[in-house]
Amino acid sequence: MRTVEAVVDIEASPQQVWDVLTDFPSYPVWTTYIQELEGHAEVGNRLRLVIGPPDKKPYVVNVPVLDATPGVRLAWGAVIPGAAWMPRTIYTGVHEFLFSDLPGGGTRLMHRESFGGLLARLVKDGPRGGDEGFDAFNQALKRQVEAG
């Protein structure tokens, strides 16, 4: 299994971070990579994401919510744009945000995506630009949360 991940420490409680992370209609205000996110953070629901860096044509994916435990974990299934039909033996993935309390207060947020299946073996480090995209998203989230 391949994994792309980025970690950020945020000066706010896990619940405060969760509240901003799951306020999907506000995404266009503070982040550029996920241009739109529609749906509700509830297990079994589907989310519609419009994703892509500002200088590229975005793509749309519809993904299932796998976990939505407030202040603990938000996860959805990862898909290849246009290939959601692909069997799990060929490709599988999970996109997740994991929250943990910091000893002096605040939240450590791990943002990661794990890929498995036969196609994942062909890509050494996950999608190109994944690390930079995750870091940029985390920093934008941190600014939004800490701005109150």
pLDDT in tens, 44-97: 999 999 987 777 788 888 899 999 999 999 999 976 655 556 655 666 789 999
Domain count, the chain: 1
d(CA 65, CA 46) in angstroms, rounded, equals: 6
Range ranked top by mean pLDDT from 3-12, 16-25, 81-90: 16-25
Domain containing 9 — which CATH number? 3.30.530.20
Q: Do residues 18 and 29 make contact, with C-beta atoms less than 8 angstroms apart?
A: no
Radius of gyration of the chain (CA): 15
Determine the structural domain holding residue 60 and report its residue range. 2-147
Q: How much of the chain is helix, strand and coil, in % rounded to 5?
A: 25, 40, 35
> Is the confidence at residue 29, as pLDDT, over 50?
yes
